[in-house]
Chain A
Amino acid sequence: MAIHIPLIIVFLFALIPLTWLVLASVNPAASPASKIPSRMTMENFGRTFSGRPLHWTLNSLLIAGSTATLVLFLATMAAYPFSRVRFFGANVLLYGLVFLRTVPVSSFMLPIYLIFIKLNLVNTYLSVILTLSVLNIPFALLLLKGFYDTIPTVFEEASWIDGCSKWKSIFRIVLPQCGPGLAVAWFMTFMFAWGEFLIPLILLRKIELMPLSVGIFTTYGEYGVVNYGLLSSMSLLYAIPPILMYILIQKNLVKGMVGYVKG
């Protein structure tokens, strides 16, 4: 059928640059040109798992892991009152969170840098983890509120009658029921923090503190000659968590997007 032709063109347009990336990562003599390597090796990946690239990977894991855990901890608690209790200012706060989730990171570049200069925390992991946490709280909170909303309140009410305190009922009754929601919130926050470039670029200005994003960017401009093989294997490794995420939530992505937009 004729409608396949534009789809095939788009398919190729999307895939050709990615194919180059995969081919270059196993080619010890990679260049910008697309070609099947005459000799396929794991050499580039070997160098990705040693020295600076390995160090950068560990930095990325540390930053993204800490951010995701901190955000999950804060958002799990904060989302609960929004879902269960009517309180003064709840609506204004919710709109504020949707607003904050929509504003691009670059709007906060200067405020974040200036406050951490003042606090003398530039070039610390703490500054990046705090910043990425603040910026990701709105997303995780709104996501978890959505999950809480789907859980009927009868179980909690029953536990209160049995003498369970409200705090206890949250940990014993509510959280176990939204395990998948907690996992999604953690993993999505991990992914956002993992891929972030601008915040670590301005806050971590020492080579040994950089995460992979800034590391890849720095390597690109180094030494004059670009090492496409090494950069491609680093990039592929760096792309694994989001690709994994996509495979996991593929089926729910279309539904999830509607929920995301409607907040």
Chain B
Amino acid sequence: MRENTKLIVGMLSPTLIFLIFLLVAVGWAFYASFTDIMLIGPAAKSPQVIGLRNYERLFRDPLFYNSLVKSAIYTGSVVASQCALGLFLAVLMHHKGVKIKSAVAAAVTMSWIIPDIVKVYTWGAFVHYEGTLNSILRVVGVPSVRWLSEKPLGVSIIGNVWGGTAFSMILFLSALETVPPQFYEAAEVDGASSWQKFIAITLPLTAPVILIDLFLITIWTFGYFTFVYGLTGGGPGHATEIAPVFIYNESFRLYKIGYGAAISFIMTAMVAMACIGYLILLRRMERV
């Protein structure tokens, strides 16, 4: 028994030290959110404790509400599109006799696994005024649009669907493989249409995986900084300033890191609630 204890302590402690370091950092930032600390200047060296003032200011800041609204639109649209498109693709590819399954899977997955900043750069060039999107639209008679200044949130959303749907698609493909093919064969004997088979067999049997997918991509999209920041920087104006970009801009462009820490804690509290919901879901599913 004693040998076991020694073993556990010896093997776990290096990792625990790392995790405790992260906890200390979070605690320190929580303290900083009650100070007027700045990135530069005198308040960088000797910040003063100002109590709840950062949090009070936050709830009066129209830009904070702007970031919540943009985040809600952005996350809602991206999650709904990725989940629906991912499921649609997986169901189509699961059909017998589909010839181009692996080619489609490879192309969709390729735009997902490349590094974030490569996605940003490639998508930015695609929606550029002289870019490929406008030349395709010109062929069908649509005049060119300055997408990044006229429809910045829209192209950010579609860009994220382009670069992120593969996750849901692969997840649903693996879920569909667990559905016994006899179910579909029986339904075919009864003369069920494709739509009826989808509603009566596919959807109920993959429902838990769909729920998992919705939780995960909601959390990740809400906290996804790089794509929108790289594409628009939050602009033009504050048109695409979703929560993580708002935190970055307030902290590192306007130097208000104390204030940024306060926003960060509100955002993290929301993320943490969603994560706990996800854990409860996982726990329930293991019991079933």
Contact = CB atoms under 8 A, between A and B. Distances in A.
A32 B132 contact: yes
Contacts of B268: 103, 107
A107 B271 contact: yes
Nearest to B26: A111
A81 B11 contact: yes
B225 interface: yes
B261 A14 contact: no
Interface residues of B, number: 95
B97 interface: yes
Interface residues of A, number: 86
Contacts of A255: 174
Given A7-B100, A246-B109, A133 B29 contact: no
Contacts of A34: 131-132, 135
Given A11-B100, A107-B264, A87 B8 contact: yes
Interface in B263-288: 264, 267-268, 271-272, 275-276, 278-279, 282
Contacts of A16: 126, 132, 136
Contacts of B129: 32
B171 A257 contact: yes
A238 interface: yes
Interface in A106-140: 106-115, 118, 130, 133-134, 137
B234 interface: no
B111 A102 contact: no
Contacts of A261: 171, 209, 212, 216
A78 interface: yes
A17 B112 CA distance: 12
A74 B275 contact: no
A235 B118 contact: yes
Interface in B4-26: 4, 7-8, 10-12, 14-16, 18-19, 21-22, 24-26
Contact of A137 (B10, B19, B128): B19
A172 interface: no
Contact of A4 (B7, B15, B98): B98
A78 B14 contact: yes
A212 B26 CA distance: 28
Interface centre among B118, B216, B271 (most CB of A within 10 A): B118
B25 A108 contact: yes
Contacts of B115: 194-195, 197, 213, 238-239, 242
Nearest to B230: A217
Given A114-B29, A220-B121, A262-B282, A80 B111 contact: no
Given A18-B122, A81-B11, A235-B122, A109 B248 contact: yes
B110 interface: yes
Contact of B92 (A6, A95, A114): A6
Contact of A17 (B7, B117, B132, B212): B132
B100 A8 contact: yes
A254 interface: yes
Contacts of B224: 104, 106
Contacts of A41: none
A75 B14 CA distance: 9
A161 interface: no
A231 interface: yes
Nearest to B27: A111
Contact of A114 (B28, B103, B123, B226): B28
Interface string A13-30: 111111011001000000
Contacts of A20: 122, 125-126, 131-132
B29 A104 contact: no
A168 B219 CA distance: 42
A193 B111 CA distance: 18
A3 B11 contact: no
B88 A104 contact: no
A17 B162 contact: yes
A189 B52 CA distance: 39
A235 B109 CA distance: 17
Contact of A108 (B26, B123, B124, B275): B26
Interface string A82-106: 0001010000000110111011111
Contact of A115 (B28, B216, B282): B28
Contacts of B222: 104
A178 B58 CA distance: 50
B87 interface: no
Contacts of B261: 110-111, 114
Interface of A: 1, 3-4, 6-8, 10-11, 13-18, 20-21, 24, 31-34, 74-75, 77-78, 80-81, 85, 87, 95-96, 98-100, 102-115, 118, 130, 133-134, 137, 141, 166-167, 194-195, 197-198, 202, 212-214, 216-217, 220, 228, 231-232, 235-236, 238-239, 242-243, 245-246, 253-255, 257-258, 261-263
Given A16-B126, A18-B114, A245-B113, 7 more contacts: A32-B132, A95-B279, A100-B22, A109-B225, A110-B261, A195-B115, A235-B114
Interchain residue pairs A-B with the least CB separation, the first 4: A104-B223, A32-B128, A195-B115, A111-B29
